[in-house]
Amino acid sequence: MESADTSTTTSDDTGVRLRPVGEPDLAMLRRFCVEPWLIGLDWAGFRDPGAPARRFAVDGWLGADDGRLVVEVERDQAAGIVSYTSRRNSGPASYWEIGIALLPEWRGRGIGWRAQALLCDYLFTHTPAQRIQAGTHPENVAEQRALEKAGFQLEGVVRACEFRAGAWRDGYLYSRLRDDPPPAALAG
Ligand SMILES: CC(C)(COP(=O)(O)OP(=O)(O)OC[C@H]1O[C@@H](n2cnc3c(N)ncnc32)[C@H](O)[C@@H]1OP(=O)(O)O)[C@@H](O)C(=O)NCCC(=O)NCCS
């Protein structure tokens, strides 16, 4: 299994950065567990608000098979988190599934697509993975567009893949491969 080396901070020229979770970020992570809709359409009911601190104590949220990084913006403010989880089909090699949640006040400012592009750079740099995938909801136009701007391509509709808000719902599956073109917005 690949291990994600998070000893370095990744940044682009807009000031959006990814960095490891720190103690002061635990309050934000707790909020995502107990504030309905703060996390967006992925809200799936209340979760144990003590879990983020327990996980932080184990490995600082920097596991070999899954982890989280804080999306940091101007004046070192935490705007949200990105996540990565190792998944495997058949065979010996794994791929990454990524996720993101920005706090509402930071949405719609060009941070989400950049953070996901940075996470791809980070994972492709520090692990040999060929594939990074991300799922989103048919009604989540912001995430669809953010993924496309981060260099992802739509693979298709995954029917009835999640039970959410009282019903089974379809999802959209996106991927970015190591040798796909880099995000057009960052080219040249
Ligand atoms: C989804 C999310 C990560 C997108 O990040 P963001 O910073 O808000 O989006 P960006 O500012 O980078 O915008 C990327 C593109 O989406 C568009 N966009 C942003 N918000 C939009 C909205 N509410 N409706 C339609 N398009 C939107 C932007 O205009 C931009 O496209 P453009 O350059 O062609 O104009 C962020 O809104 C978020 O955290 N939402 C809640 C959690 C969530 O839904 N996570 C994903 C779960 S699958």
- Nearest CA residue ID for atom 7, ligand 1: 112
pLDDT number for residue 5: 45
Comparing CA positions, the residue from 100, 85, 103, 104 lying closest to residue 27 is 103
pLDDT number for residue 42: 92
Question: What whole-number percentage of the chain has pLDDT above 70?
Answer: 93
Asked whether the beta carbons of 26 and 68 are under 8 A apart, the reply is no
Compute, in angstroms, the gap from residue 49 CA to the centroid of ligand 1. 26
CATH (one of 3.30.2090.10, 3.40.50.300, 3.40.630.30, 3.50.30.20) for 10-186: 3.40.630.30
pLDDT number for residue 155: 98
Judged against a pLDDT cut of 50, whether residue 2 lies above it is answered with no
Judged against a pLDDT cut of 80, whether residue 68 lies above it is answered with yes
Q: Of 37, 72, 100, which is best to mutate to test ligand 1, by the most ligand atoms within 8 angstroms of its C-beta?
A: 100
Backbone dihedral angles phi then psi of residue 162, each to the nearest 5 degrees:
-145, 145
The ligand 1 atom at the shortest distance from the C-alpha of residue 134 is: 48
The ligand 1 atom at the shortest distance from the C-alpha of residue 146 is: 14
Compute, in angstroms, the gap from residue 143 CA to the centroid of ligand 1. 5
| Helix (H), strand (E), coil (C) string for the chain | CCCCCCCCCEECCCCCEEEECCHHHHHHHHHHHHCCCCCHHHCCCCCCCCHHHHHHHHHCCECCCEEEEEEEEHHHEEEEEEEEEEECCCCCCCEEEEEEEECHHHCCCCHHHHHHHHHHHHHHHHCCCCEEEEEECCCCHHHHHHHHHCCCEEEEEEEEEEEECCEEEEEEEEEEECCCCCCHHHCC
Compute, in angstroms, the gap from residue 146 CA to the centroid of ligand 1. 5
Backbone dihedral angles phi then psi of residue 54, each to the nearest 5 degrees:
-65, -45
pLDDT number for residue 9: 54
- Which residues have CB under 6 Å of ligand 1? 39-42, 80, 100-102, 107-113, 136, 140-143, 145-146, 149
